[in-house]
Amino acid sequence: MGCMRVAALSILATLTLAWLPSNKRVTSSNGTDLFAPSDGKIRGVNLGTQFVFEPWIAMQAWSEIGCEGEQSEYDCVAKLGQAAANDAFAEHWSSWITKDDIDEMQSYGLNTIRIPVGYWMKEDLIYSDSEYFPQGGYDYLEQLCGWASDAGLYIIIDLHGAPGAQVAKNAFTGQFADTPGFYVDFQYARALEFLEWMATNIHTKHNFRNVGMLEVVNEPVQNPDTTASLRSRYYPDAFNTIRGVERELDIDRENYLHIQMMDSVWGAGDPHEHLTDDYYAAYDNHRYIKWDAGVAVSKENYIKTSCNDKVAANWPAIIGEWSLSVPDDVQESPEWEPYSNQDFYKKWFAAQVQTYEKQQGWIFWTWKTQLGEYRWSYRGMDCWNLWRSCANCDRWGGRGSNPNRSQLGVERRGVQMSG
């Protein structure tokens, strides 16, 4: 720990607010408590493609950056060259999620954002002779967290792209690696350095004051044998690293960051297995029924499954990703296409929300897309008036009632639940 961190502590320690919203009150700069209507439950959206670009979400924006035909940020930067890539991605970072987006989220009654980031945001971790990633994203992250804090949103920062890639051939890691290369000690060391840096920024920078949770890796391989060292070494070391920052900064235990890992139900093993201190541990699960081969594809079965789903084994757990998307081979069929089947999608949305709020809450994937339909886009659901009439389960004002805008952000009607 250098002198600069200790000096920052003396100025900014009182700004630290790391918690779950059920533990402490979080308000906007004008005093609005977005968690009052939810009794502290998380209702949020992911900011997909802001700092870790997934081309399928926004092909037009990907093309405008100059990345058309490339599979990941790594590939695109290698193609464009560093200087051109930095300029192009800076334009994207400044325009994909803006302050207007944050204000719109708040107006809908949302109270949380989850921000996927890559390890390369700490630029001295990048191997300059063999890795290619855009530079300059950190300033945009800090600005974005400032807007969200002003709006009263709770913030989760998620290490979405891990060194070496935690899964193969997936752009959400920032690269399209042939094999997952994360599960070795030297890559863990790079990730730990990222977590140390991010925890220090969160606890010493005013704009990060509403960041209460740091997720140490997104969606590891769903194979407990492959992830054995993740559980035995990386998770305990991640705790020790983050808590070491907090002890050196003399952070009060009540203001520690929640440290988030994927829940046992995810399939990468029990994250708690080797932890000796799980104070302020939190858990994440992602529930995409479209990819669950064990769920028969029918509307009735989807709603029944969602109403009775076991989505977590650890506590506290957040369903950190989910959507209304259905299997690719049926999604455009007359029975499933989104516009003539809105009644089903309203009910399915409500069924999922009701189940996920039996846990700590939910975060929809994602805020917006360029797909031209709403099943992956919370903002798109509003454009099609979908969630205005479905998000009001009994706990949100009662079937048939119309909660006022101060409760939910907009007027909504109740939905008859089935299943």
Asked if residues 258 and 17 have their Cβ atoms less than 8 Å apart, the reply is no
Which carries the bigger pLDDT value, residue 10 or residue 137? 137
**Nearest alpha-carbon partner for 199 in 151, 238, 237, 162:** 238
Mean pLDDT of the chain: 88
Which residue of the set 54, 321, 357, 373 is catalytic?
Answer: 321
Least confident of 13-27, 147-161, 289-303: 13-27
**pLDDT at 406 (0 to 100):** 30
**pLDDT at 53 (0 to 100):** 99
pLDDT greater than 80 at residue 394 = no
Query: What's the gap between Cα 177 and its chain centre?
Result: 22
Which carries the bigger pLDDT value, residue 402 or residue 372? 372
**pLDDT at 19 (0 to 100):** 58
CA dist., res. 204 & res. 183, Å (int): 30
Residue 48, both tokens: 């997909």
**pLDDT at 94 (0 to 100):** 99
Q: Among positive and negative, which fits the CA dihedral 175, 179, 180, 184?
A: negative
CA dist., res. 375 & res. 380, Å (int): 8
Angle between helices 73-80 and 82-95 (to 10 degrees): 130
pLDDT greater than 60 at residue 395 = no
pLDDT band at 341 (very low <50, low <70, confident <90, very high): very high
pLDDT greater than 80 at residue 386 = no
Percent pLDDT > 90 in the chain is: 80
Average pLDDT, stretch 11-40? 67
The count of residues in the chain is 419
Which residue of the set 54, 70, 219, 246 is catalytic?
Answer: 219
pLDDT tens readout for residues 262-273: 999 999 999 999
CA dist., res. 82 & res. 401, Å (int): 55
**pLDDT at 218 (0 to 100):** 99
pLDDT tens readout for residues 63-82: 999 999 999 999 999 999 99
pLDDT band at 28 (very low <50, low <70, confident <90, very high): confident
Query: What's the gap between Cα 253 and its chain centre?
Result: 24
pLDDT greater than 90 at residue 417 = no
pLDDT greater than 50 at residue 338 = yes
Question: Three-state SS string across the chain, please?
Answer: CCHHHHHHHHHHHHHCCCCCCCCCCCCCCCCCCCCHHHCCCEEEEECCCCCCCCHHHCHHHHHHHCCCCCCCHHHHHHHHCHHHHHHHHHHHHHHCCCHHHHHHHHHCCCCEEEEEEEHHHCHHHCCCCCCCCCCCHHHHHHHHHHHHHHHCCEEEEEEEECCCCCCCCEHHHCECCCCCCCCCHHHHHHHHHHHHHHHHHHHHCHHHCCEEEEECCCCCCCCCCCCHHHHHHHHHHHHHHHHHHHHHCCCCHHHCCEEEEECHHHCCCCCCCCCCCCCCEEEEEEECHHHCCCCCCCHHHHHHHHHCCCCCCCCCEEEEEECCCCCCCCCCCCCCCCCCCHHHHHHHHHHHHHHHCCCCEEEECCCCCCCCCCCCCHHHHHHCCCHHHCCECHHHCCCCCCCCHHHHCCCCCECCCCC
pLDDT greater than 80 at residue 382 = no
**pLDDT at 33 (0 to 100):** 83
pLDDT tens readout for residues 191-249: 999 999 999 999 999 999 999 999 999 999 999 999 999 999 999 999 999 999 999 99
**pLDDT at 308 (0 to 100):** 96
**pLDDT at 27 (0 to 100):** 75
Average pLDDT, stretch 342-370? 96
Average pLDDT, stretch 24-45? 84
CA dist., res. 196 & res. 19, Å (int): 18
CA dist., res. 175 & res. 409, Å (int): 38
Instruction: For residue 180, say if its preceding peptide bond is cis, omega within 30 degrees of 0.
Output: no
**pLDDT at 38 (0 to 100):** 83
**pLDDT at 30 (0 to 100):** 80
pLDDT greater than 90 at residue 401 = no
**pLDDT at 22 (0 to 100):** 67
Residue 112, both tokens: 């949380």
Least confident of 12-16, 109-113, 223-227, 385-389: 12-16
Residue 201, both tokens: 């920024």
**Nearest alpha-carbon partner for 414 in 388, 375, 378, 379:** 388
Give the architecture (CATH level 2) of 3-390: Alpha-Beta Barrel (3.20)
pLDDT greater than 70 at residue 5 = no
Which carries the bigger pLDDT value, residue 69 or residue 405? 69
**pLDDT at 42 (0 to 100):** 97
Average pLDDT, stretch 114-143? 99
pLDDT band at 275 (very low <50, low <70, confident <90, very high): very high
Enumerate the domain spans of the chain.
3-390
Is 321 a catalytic site residue? yes
Instruction: For residue 366, say if its preceding peptide bond is cis, omega within 30 degrees of 0.
Output: yes
pLDDT band at 29 (very low <50, low <70, confident <90, very high): confident
pLDDT greater than 80 at residue 6 = no
Residue with tokens 């533990």: 23
Average pLDDT, stretch 312-330? 98
